[in-house]
A and B are shown apart, each in its own frame.
Chain A
Amino acid sequence: METTATERNNVVTTGQDDGAPIVFVHGFGCDGTMWRQVAPAFEDSRKVVTYDLTGMGQSDLSAYAPHRYADLDAHAEDLWEILAELDLSGAVLVGHSVGASIALLAAARAPERVSRLVMVSPSPSFLDDATQGYRGGFSCEDLEGLVGFLDENHLGWSAQMAPTIAGQPAGAPAAEELTRSFCRTDPAIARHFGHVTFFADQRGAFERARHPSLILHCDDDALVPMPVAEWMRDSVPGTTLRVIPATGHCPHMTVPDIVVTEMRGYLGQG
């Protein structure tokens, strides 16, 4: 029997069943739980959907056929299937990093199901492109190095996935959550998806964006330098760039309150 997209991608729906839908798309390296300090803030008024990209988290790992997922389109198609299966319309798609690219591609596929995009720390392309004067921040060798590094972490991974928790005081606030391992990824998939993520060039898709969007960019992001944010501000139709004072690539985890406030401001309280 064919599994449904909601089963395959561990789709979790919370909030108001009749509320305006908002769908969260995580980025490379983790899973839908990345949104746990942001998504609940919208449950009082909206229908909130989180899921794991195919091959990540609690998704059906066996569905990750490398040749199918050799580019981001397959992930966009998955999201499009989820939107169709849940029969959402006018949804806000919120994507982090490569998840923002996936949300953008899915929105282009199903424009009627999407109203707006929120892109958290997006980057249309990590790779420098001297011919176009585009500064993605990384050379080809840098990115090859990262992919090799993911390979190197294969062996360390089994320890990572072990459910033992060392050095945690009993009864720590998140003790219950600690009983399962986060960001668990099959190492072969991590390597493959890492390659797909870091070598993706979606500048064309960003330039052809059909929905209004909010871009949240951290002013101290090691993965996405400021020129990338400026390129998006100048090249993505109908976008609003907001630079937030935060270190790192995951403001939805480090400064979730700021992210929620920015999103509320953009989307309106409703």
Chain B
Amino acid sequence: MTAGAGPRHLDAAAELIEDAPCGIAVTDPDGRLRYVNATLAGWLDPGGRNGDAPRSLPEMLTLPGRMYYETHLAPMMRLQGFVREISCALQVADGPPLPVLISGVARRDADGGFTRFDYTIFDARERRAYEEELRRAKREADELAAIVRRSPNAILRVDGAGRLRSWNASAARLLGPDETAAQGRPVDEAIAFDAQPGWFARTVAQAPETAEILFEASHADGSVFEVTLTPIGETGLPGQESWSVILRDITRRQSAERQLRVMFDEMRHRVKNTLGVVAGIARQTLARPDAEQFVSRLKALSQAHDALTGNDGAEAELRDLLDFTRREAGGAARLRVTGPEIRLSARQATSLSMAFHELVTNALKYGALSCAAGHVQVDVALEPGHRLRLSWRERGGPPVVAPARSGFGTKMIGQVLRAELGADVSFDFDPEGFCFEAAFPLG
């Protein structure tokens, strides 16, 4: 070291402290400022216009920082002799608060008494923005985690091979008392379903990679679950897939549905029995031709009830109704149907089946089906506004003559379809063949 190196070295040190890339402050043990470097002074008063510079460290800070200084920072300096990376904000003259991190160290004299507190203060604007982002993400994650934790459904996370990684409290109840031992076990061993060994690998292998898998399974304890497997494609890397497995207990729902089905079957049975009794009464009461006609109409109504199989007996397929009619007409060659599949409400199904019965009876007696070459063309179409248009055209029968007065059949068709379904109905006694059209909203 040369003789001149010392002073130059000190100059550099003084300059470094004054212009350091961080704020430096020295206070007495009561927080009164003894020294503020140029960097910090510049942060506090960027314009250099404010003559009223802070006299103590807490005065530099925004109000919460001041309270924090009194309750935490000052006691810590005295108790442990240092503070590290306390997040605060500087009160800036004519500007928004400047987020900073404060570290400090207490200096003592030979007797252990405090002589001064040295603080370094770092600009934390970028870090604060990043931390705010982290806190927001954490809050969000905490909220979602709380939902999973408290869900009545058993929710588990498994790796690509189906080994258990984590689960919520509802799943823990299913895993039983040795819950901790379940970690890493194959999920289809830890939660076994009746007659479905290896259910995880089997169902996952059958499904396309990104799809959600849904199935029902009964557990050994007698519960029935709706099981949802959803791939959690977070890494996107092959071999690192993990899955969420959600088990919803549907035991009660299933038994309620079963009970409903039993009740429905019973009801249908009674309806059919009642119709049978009514048919018997008709045969006893009415003259033979009238009785036969009445009973065949009852039969049509009864068939409509049989067709009501969808949605627990509340819905029927139009195609099923037309199948009955086709059998009455004498087969597919005699009654030709085009159009989409249509699901009908119970009211629509019973009204339409009565109408079809009248139409086909009439066609067999007087219309196209009364001779071997004739047939009926039924076209079904869906129109805008979810309206159904249905046309019945007879071809190849004897020449048609418009009736002098409409019979019970056409009257019934028109009245029932208009009143029950709000249908537009038209009859056309075209000499080429009888035509009937109905259009109504499906609802």
- Taking a contact as CB atoms under 8 Å apart, the answer to whether B80 and A30 are in contact is no
Q: Which residue of B lies closest to A158 (CB)?
A: B85
In the bound complex, CA of A178 to CA of B82 (Å): 9
Task: Return the CB mask of B229-249 against A: 1 if under 8 Å, else 0.
Answer: 000000000000000000000
Partner of B75, one of A29, A154, A198: A29
Contacts of B67 in A (CB 8 A): 146, 149, 198, 222-223
Surface stretch bound by B, among A8-16, A109-117, A199-207, A248-256: A248-256
Contacts of A152 in B (CB 8 A): 87, 131, 135
Q: A142-B63, A174-B112 are in contact. Are A223 and B79 (CB under 8 A)?
A: no
Residue A1 at the chain B interface, CB threshold 8 Å: no
- Taking a contact as CB atoms under 8 Å apart, the answer to whether B135 and A154 are in contact is yes
Contacts of A254 in B (CB 8 A): 29-30, 74, 78
Q: A149-B64, A155-B135, A183-B76 are in contact. Are A223 and B85 (CB under 8 A)?
A: no
Contacts of A198 in B (CB 8 A): 67
Task: Return the CB mask of B78-106 against A: 1 if under 8 Å, else 0.
Answer: 11111111111000000000000101010
- Taking a contact as CB atoms under 8 Å apart, the answer to whether A250 and B101 are in contact is no
In angstroms, how far is the closest chain B Cβ from the Cβ of A117? Answer: 21
Residue B311 at the chain A interface, CB threshold 8 Å: no
- Taking a contact as CB atoms under 8 Å apart, the answer to whether B105 and A248 are in contact is no
- Taking a contact as CB atoms under 8 Å apart, the answer to whether B87 and A156 are in contact is yes
Q: Which residue of B lies closest to A29 (CB)?
A: B71
Contacts of B66 in A (CB 8 A): 222
Q: Which residue of B lies closest to A154 (CB)?
A: B135
- Taking a contact as CB atoms under 8 Å apart, the answer to whether B75 and A183 are in contact is yes
Q: A168-B81, A177-B80, A253-B78 are in contact. Are A145 and B70 (CB under 8 A)?
A: no
- Taking a contact as CB atoms under 8 Å apart, the answer to whether A253 and B79 are in contact is yes
In the bound complex, CA of A250 to CA of B82 (Å): 17
Contacts of B85 in A (CB 8 A): 156, 159-160
- Taking a contact as CB atoms under 8 Å apart, the answer to whether A181 and B82 are in contact is no
Residue among A97, A152, A249 with the most chain B CB within 10 A?
A: A152
Residue A170 at the chain B interface, CB threshold 8 Å: no
Residue A136 at the chain B interface, CB threshold 8 Å: no
Contacts of A156 in B (CB 8 A): 85-87, 101
In the bound complex, CA of A154 to CA of B128 (Å): 12
Contacts of A153 in B (CB 8 A): 68, 86-87
- Taking a contact as CB atoms under 8 Å apart, the answer to whether B75 and A250 are in contact is yes
In the bound complex, CA of A177 to CA of B75 (Å): 14
Residue A28 at the chain B interface, CB threshold 8 Å: yes
In the bound complex, CA of A260 to CA of B87 (Å): 34
Contacts of A28 in B (CB 8 A): 71
Residue A167 at the chain B interface, CB threshold 8 Å: yes
Name the interface residues of A136-152: CB closer than 8 Å to any CB of B: 138, 142, 145-146, 148-152
Q: Which residue of B lies closest to A147 (CB)?
A: B64
In angstroms, how far is the closest chain B Cβ from the Cβ of A163? Answer: 11
Contacts of B101 in A (CB 8 A): 156
Q: Which residue of B lies closest to A161 (CB)?
A: B84
Name the interface residues of B126-175: CB closer than 8 Å to any CB of A: 131, 134-135
Partner of A168, one of B29, B70, B79, B82: B82
Residue B32 at the chain A interface, CB threshold 8 Å: yes
Q: A149-B68, A155-B135, A167-B105 are in contact. Are A183 and B84 (CB under 8 A)?
A: no
Residue A268 at the chain B interface, CB threshold 8 Å: no
Contacts of A223 in B (CB 8 A): 67, 70-71
Task: Return the CB mask of A240-270 against B: 1 if under 8 Å, else 0.
Answer: 0000001111100110000000000000000
Partner of A148, one of B30, B64, B131: B64
Partner of A151, one of B81, B112, B135: B135
Partner of B70, one of A34, A159, A166, A249: A249
- Taking a contact as CB atoms under 8 Å apart, the answer to whether A181 and B65 are in contact is no
3 A-B pairs closest in CB distance: A29-B71, A149-B64, A173-B112
Q: Which residues of B are at the interface with A, using a C-beta cutoff of 8 A?
A: 29-32, 56, 58, 62-72, 74-76, 78-88, 101, 103, 105, 108, 112, 131, 134-135
A-B residue pairs in contact (CB < 8 Å), sample of 10 = A30-B72, A33-B79, A149-B67, A153-B68, A165-B82, A168-B82, A173-B108, A177-B80, A178-B81, A248-B70
Sample of 20 further A-B pairs with CB below 8 A, known A34-B75, A183-B75: A27-B71, A142-B64, A146-B64, A149-B68, A152-B135, A155-B87, A159-B85, A166-B105, A168-B81, A173-B108, A174-B112, A177-B79, A181-B80, A182-B75, A222-B69, A223-B71, A248-B30, A250-B70, A253-B74, A253-B75
